[in-house]
Amino acid sequence: MKIEELKTPCYVIDEGRLTDNLKILNGVRERTGCSILLAQKAFSCFAEYPLIAKYIDGTTASGLYEARLGKEEMGLSNHVFAPAYKEADFEELTKICDHIVFNSFSQLKKYKDCLKGVNAGIRVNPQCSTQDGHAIYDPCAPGSRLGVTREQFEEEYLPYISGIHFHTLCEQNADALKTTLDAVEEQFGQYFPRLSWINMGGGHHITREDYDLELLESCIKRIQDQYGLRVYLEPGEAVALNAGYLVTEVLDVVDNGIKTLILDASAACHMPDVLEMPYRPPLKDSADPGEKSFTYRLSSCTCLAGDVIGDYSFDYEIKPGDKLYFMDMAIYSMVKNNTFNGMPLPSIAIMDRSGECRIIKEFGYEDFKNRLS
């Protein structure tokens, strides 16, 4: 079926765009020799893992369940980082992960005797912020709980680790990576000769049109050539950037001073980053408010007064029954959605390059009920 025939709400993964992204990432791998991992926290639709596995080296996880998913569904290199690990989970993690990164030396001390056959690493905090106005996503913000600073680094435990990890970026270009990498090298570079790998984390918008691939690759090559370290990158968004839609139907139009479309999709339930970041998601065939002839506020059928997606304008009047197509909806949507108000979860479909869609997952009342008992 075609995308306009899908029952709403529905996430649609654009397999053609996904493949295009993967080819860009694979090009970085081939030109530099680095290893690239899928950060499952952004995109974990494992129906696409066989495709993704053709182009990159494995997965990275934020805990046991993601680590299990990466092991079971992709089966390549499997990394995990968490701010702390539960004792009940750790033994299984050592069996399914080849790299385990610790957030503190106290955690390393606690589990160091359980690491036989596992590459252990420590996350560092270079205290070098390259973000502005998004402290919630800034691991270098003052008071951050993420990573060990230079002052906290305990050199006597270097024999227990084989690498270091830093993750400080969010939707950024290679210039931010270079700034951060220079800070990491200045503060922790003295330890590089005693290590075998460095993980530069995620937040690299590698597949964005304006991304500076040449600068990224020069950063990778310099660290590899100068120190002999294996370099890992963990992009999440870059894997599925602009490779998905959320299809929604207009249920009603209300006017209390602002013409508002009531949709069967919800910011709070189906794209929570709209409220958390916040941001205004791209919408097909729309423009900024007032730019086109008809301006509307887009909202949902939940009871949350602030469940507002944003204001958009169109060339034509929008009526109940019309379908709208939010773009860039493959990332941080399916992994973060919820059933607040008993809202149905959107179905998940895959669209091939010809525009044909197939449903891979549908949800119903039992999915809502079984979360609560």
pLDDT in tens, 206-261: 999 999 999 999 999 999 999 999 999 999 999 999 999 999 999 999 999 999 99
* Sign of the four-CA dihedral 19, 23, 24, 29: positive
The ranges of the chain annotated as CATH 3.20.20.10 are 33-239
The ranges of the chain with pLDDT < 70 are none
pLDDT of residue 224: 98
pLDDT of residue 357: 98
Is the Cβ–Cβ distance between 138 and 129 less than 8 Å? yes
- Percent of the chain that is helix, strand, coil (3-state, to 5): 35, 25, 40
Distance CA 96, CA 118 (A): 10
The ranges of the chain annotated as CATH 2.40.37.10 are 3-12+244-329+337-369
pLDDT of residue 131: 85
pLDDT of residue 136: 83
* Coil, strand or helix at 134: coil
- CB-CB neighbours of 155 under 10 Å: 9
pLDDT of residue 334: 97
Q: Domain 33-239 is of which CATH architecture? A: Alpha-Beta Barrel (3.20)
What CA dihedral angle connects 86, 87, 93 and 98, to 10 degrees?
A: 100
Distance CA 167, CA 198 (A): 11
Distance CA 117, CA 90 (A): 14
Residue 304 burial (C-beta neighbours within 10 Å; 0-12, 13-18, 19+):
middle
What CA dihedral angle connects 82, 84, 88 and 92, to 10 degrees?
A: 30
By DSSP bridging, strand 357-361 and strand 35-39 are: unpaired
* Coil, strand or helix at 364: coil
Q: Domain 3-12+244-329+337-369 is of which CATH architecture? A: Beta Barrel (2.40)
Is the Cβ–Cβ distance between 292 and 312 less than 8 Å? no
